[in-house]
Amino acid sequence: MKKIIGKEKIFNFLINSFRESRVSHAYLFLGPEGVGKAFTAKLFAQFINCENRKENPCFECISCVKIEHNNHPDVYWIKPEEGSQGIKMEAMRTLQERIFLKPYEAKFKIFVLENVDYISEEAANCLLKTLEEPPGDALLILIAEEKERIIPTIISRCQIIKFNPISRDLLERFLVENYGEDKRKISFYSRLAEGSIGKALALLESDYLQRRISVLERLLEKREFNYDLWGKERDTFSEVLTFLNGIFRDAFLKTLGLDELIVNSDCRELIFRIASSYTQKEICNLIEKFDFYHRLIQNNVNLRLIFTSLEMDLERELTKE
């Protein structure tokens, strides 16, 4: 279950406004990076459109699930294009078209706009027009870090919600509860993250990637199967398998000379090594194995059994001459 941390007051304020029908047409979520602005926007969108709404969104109805996966037709997430900081005019034109359409399946259309402090001038003017007369069934949530960079006429048309950094204690407690394995490491990351849950999660994520790479390196170099690195939970085990599957699929593409289709480009060196050490048939066999064990995990087969059987299989496949 998703949890909001350190922002309960904000969330309660938002849901109370909604319950009492005094929700604003536009909010400006203001605060440093990674302190829960986008997270809260999503949660609020889920709450508004939830089919079993109580204190919180249920996270299980179709609407909640679609919003979670960013594919709800009435919740638009407008981000800058890759490589640019601010939202461009084209995205704003799409917003202007969609905001006057009827919602597809929800009561409200929700538009979340990221990096509004870096929006282009032309797009800002367009946004301003939209803010002047938004239709009654639309809600805009603007997300930004620096108030000074936003034109005052935009600010004055929004209700400002300030997001402060999360205290280190709270952040640490959250990380231990949700990702808690190594308390020393988590304490170190909490300090580095300076109150930003986004930063802390990114640090943990890069650590996980590193760990997955070590799983692979050990497998390839020493044929070593280290349970600690695989993680003893169904979820982490399944993630490692998905990772290995992706790497071997990339290696297969490499053997076909389709380098440009390689997905895990941060593991290029390992992928090339696999492609040059194993034949296409061997790589395909391994991919099938990973798929097979992945299905077993999903079917709730005992993890210990899977470990043992996979170990024997990999031993055999990887040492083939």
Q: Give the binding site for Zn ion (CB under 5 A).
A: 50, 57-58, 61, 64
CB nearer to Zn ion: pick between 58 and 318: 58
Contact 203, 192 (CB under 8 A): yes
Task: Give least dist CB 72 to Zn ion, A.
Answer: 11
Give min distance, CB of 48 to Zn ion, in A. Answer: 10
**Rounded to 5°, angle at Cα 65 from 60 and 71:** 165
Nearest approach, Cβ of 190 to Zn ion (angstroms)? 31
**Minimum distance from CB of 1 to Zn ion (Å)?**
12
What is the 3-state composition of the chain as percent helix, strand, coil, each rounded to the nearest 5?
60, 10, 30
- In the complex with Zn ion, the residue whose CB is nearer, 52 or 153, is 52
Amino acid at 301: V
Identify which of residues 49 and 190 has a Cβ nearer to Zn ion in the complex.
49
The C-alpha R_g of the chain, in whole angstroms, comes to 24
What's the rounded Cα separation, in Å, for the pair 21 and 239? 43
Give every strand in the sheet of 26-30, ordered side by side: 75-78, 109-113, 138-144, 26-30, 159-162
Smaller CB separation from Zn ion, 58 or 170: 58
| CA–CA dist 42, 48 (Å, integer) | 10
Nearer to Zn ion, 50 or 127 (CB): 50
